[in-house]
A and B are shown apart, each in its own frame.
Chain A
Amino acid sequence: MSRISTSFEKLKKEGRSALIPYVTAGDPAPSVTVGLLHAMVAAGADVIELGVPFSDPMADGPVIQLACERALLHNTRLLDVLAMVAEFRQKDSDTPIVLMGYLNPIEILGYQRFAEEAQKAGVDGVLTVDLPPEESEEFNQIMQAHDIDTIYLLAPTTEEERIKYVCENGSGYLYYVSVKGVTGSASLDVQEVADKLDLIRKYTTIPLGVGFGIKDAESAKAVSAVADGVIVGSVLVNKIAALVKDQAQIAPQVAAIIKDMRNAMDS
């Protein structure tokens, strides 16, 4: 069983939801990332979404755009991100890592080479924002052959027929985008999310994570009541942005936010 499935199984037995933080690799500097990941795990993160910086992050709001720009100032590339994952794995062989980003860096490296290198580094899943299942038959096959889950998005605009189709193609977990918009935008409506998750569960037993619009411990708790996983990104990246000049504070302060959310979710 993959690390992702194992984690969700364990949480399910404990009656808890997964807390899934997102940070952009290399933001604000490559030297910060691995330590930050360990600190997030210690604070209660169950799965980590590690952003691969891209020059044109079309689905992201200004917070994550700027994180990409900061990481790219240090020329943080896909292969560098994989090296960070390998370093993380030296001390943590349990926490699943999902790479999140856009297709072009993977396309330029080549699907086969990417899959080999990612497996070797210890990557568990990949979420490619601009690669819907319609375009990813070859990609899926190659990732499966390397035991890497392909995580797909579902949105408020996804109709029932398509929910079924996406569910059939996804593995690991499914990421429900709770609001129409880019990352870091409006707050979500928990009842609306709950209704949509019920509909999605008609077609799959894969765990459902919910992201976009989760801003604090309170909203994390509310979402954890209806979802298998709570995904938080912009609020953490915002904290990182505020500490660019005081990088030693990044890991402890981000960990504090995660701890708050964890406590609220488990209470």
Chain B
Amino acid sequence: MPTNIDLKALSQLPDSKGHFGPYGGRFVSETLMAALKQLEETYEKLWRDPAFQEEFDRDLAHYVGRPSPLYHAKHLSDHVGGAQIYLKREDLNHTGAHKINNTIGQALLAKFTGKPRVIAETGAGQHGVASATVAARLGLECQVYMGAEDVQRQALNVYRMKLLGAEVISVESGTRTLKDAMNEAMRDWVTNVDNTFYIIGTAAGPHPYPKLVRDFQCVIGREARQQCMDQTGRLPDALVACVGGGSNAIGLFHPFIEDADVKMYGVEAGGYGVETGQHAAPLSAGSPGVLHGNRTYLMSDEGGQIIGTHSVSAGLDYPGVGPEHAYLKDTGRAEYVDATDDEAMDAFRALTRIEGIMPAIESSHAVAYAMKLAKEMDKDQTIVVNLSGRGDKDIHTVAQIDGINI
């Protein structure tokens, strides 16, 4: 890591216009500008309001089930033979992933702004389920946009959303995955901006979304920091998290930004291998551009068209990434690597058989890289891996890979 960067200043971004260095910002059509400004003002006011904080914390404790455990995966660590691997068990949250931390927060914002309807985009369906869940609880109308391809590979989550009372809208345009679901959600929002709150699922999009999603997810890193101190007596040597849009990763990383000795690794979806072009790794193999309201690293061709992505995991199958990750990459504070489909599936099987924990395929990318990294480290060093979600939703995908029809 470069030694000349001001870590304190880095941790206080974005600036007042939502910029992380050259990234972030608010690149949307005029109709949405007023709604984003209103959201920003509401958020800044409520985030500092003790009553809001109290309600948020209470929901995280009693509805989500926080704090989530930090589990020393001793068997896996022994199996790998290197650093000690600790798992931050976001998979044990209500609804099965870290996504609920953010939807609880945004649903409270929706409630305070008096909007009766929420919309969301979803890839793997975890954010859709988490949105449908909070909407059910607060009595809000909920529509979830999901790419037609993802509707197929995440059928279980689609049905969960329906049971929760949400309407799932299958998006047939473009590449029929997460980016197209986000386009369609934006179109809905621009049309129904007066009565609709858009719950964005990742730390990306126009300002203030990258900031507020991060703030809601930072509970992951704050807890992990304290739990690591309690269990090992010191901070971890490395953090590892998967990165699609990057909300679970930024939630883990952010509270450690000023701890210069804690290394951070974001693991992108390498798909069939970054060298094949069939992947979803904009930080590893993309370049800066503008999409979905923010400037960030993107996968686009030399004409500026967005390229189709590939990943075995629907939740990472996205051509962009949150703007804070783009800046953490450029400043060298975090490092971005990738794990291929095969490596992720191997890690899925390893964690399942060795620890009895079935990770989401998204989170399996982080586990895969952590196993690689641990080998190069000493036995008395520690790695904290964000186990961002559980793998129940992926059983059909895994069975299909095994050639089994359930």
Let me know if A251 is at the binding interface, CB within 8 A: no
Inter-chain contact B27/A103, CB cutoff 8 Å: yes
4 new A-B pairs (CB below 8 Å) besides A103-B290, A104-B289, A108-B304?
A: A55-B306, A56-B291, A135-B27, A157-B31
Inter-chain contact B29/A59, CB cutoff 8 Å: yes
Let me know if A14 is at the binding interface, CB within 8 A: no
Residue contacts A-B, CB under 8 angstroms, 23 given: A55-B174, A55-B305, A56-B180, A72-B305, A77-B303, A77-B304, A104-B289, A104-B305, A107-B289, A108-B287, A108-B304, A130-B27, A130-B293, A131-B290, A132-B27, A134-B25, A152-B30, A155-B31, A157-B32, A159-B34, A180-B190, A181-B191, A182-B191
Let me know if A173 is at the binding interface, CB within 8 A: no
- Interface residues in B1-41 (C-beta closer than 8 Å to A): 17, 25-35
Let me know if A35 is at the binding interface, CB within 8 A: no
Q: Is the interface of B mostly helix, strand, loop or mixed?
A: mixed
Inter-chain contact A155/B27, CB cutoff 8 Å: no
Inter-chain contact B305/A105, CB cutoff 8 Å: yes
Specify the chain A residue showing the minimal Cβ separation from B289.
Answer: A104
**Separation of A8 and B67 alpha carbons in the complex (Å):** 64
Q: A104-B289, A134-B17 are in contact. Are A56 and B30 (CB under 8 A)?
A: no
| Interface core residue of A65, A102, A132, A181 (most chain B CB under 10 Å) | A132
9 closest Cβ contacts across the A-B interface?
A105-B304, A77-B303, A108-B304, A153-B30, A155-B31, A181-B191, A157-B34, A59-B29, A55-B305
Residues of A within 8 A of B (CB): 53-59, 61-62, 65, 72, 75, 77-79, 102-109, 129-132, 134-135, 152-159, 162, 166, 177, 180-182, 185
Partner of A56, one of B26, B31, B191, B306: B306
Residues of B within 8 A of A77 (CB): 303-305
Residues of B within 8 A of A55 (CB): 174, 305-306
Let me know if B353 is at the binding interface, CB within 8 A: no
Inter-chain contact B29/A134, CB cutoff 8 Å: no
**Separation of A185 and B289 alpha carbons in the complex (Å):** 29
Q: Is the interface of A mostly helix, strand, loop or mixed?
A: loop
Inter-chain contact B26/A132, CB cutoff 8 Å: yes
Inter-chain contact A177/B290, CB cutoff 8 Å: no
**Separation of A120 and B91 alpha carbons in the complex (Å):** 57
Inter-chain contact B35/A157, CB cutoff 8 Å: yes
Specify the chain B residue showing the minimal Cβ separation from A80.
Answer: B303
Q: How far is the CB of A8 from chain B (nearest CB, A)?
A: 21
Partner of B305, one of A54, A131, A156: A54
Specify the chain B residue showing the minimal Cβ separation from A61.
Answer: B187
Q: A107-B304, A130-B27 are in contact. Are A58 and B298 (CB under 8 A)?
A: no
Instruction: Flag B360-403 by CB within 8 Å of A: 1 or 0 each.
Output: 00000000000000000000000000000000000000000000
Let me know if B49 is at the binding interface, CB within 8 A: no
Inter-chain contact A104/B28, CB cutoff 8 Å: no
- Interface residues in B292-316 (C-beta closer than 8 Å to A): 292-293, 295, 298, 300, 302-306
Residues of A within 8 A of B30 (CB): 132, 152-155, 157-158, 166, 177
Inter-chain contact B29/A180, CB cutoff 8 Å: no
Let me know if B331 is at the binding interface, CB within 8 A: no
Residues of A within 8 A of B303 (CB): 75, 77-79, 105, 108
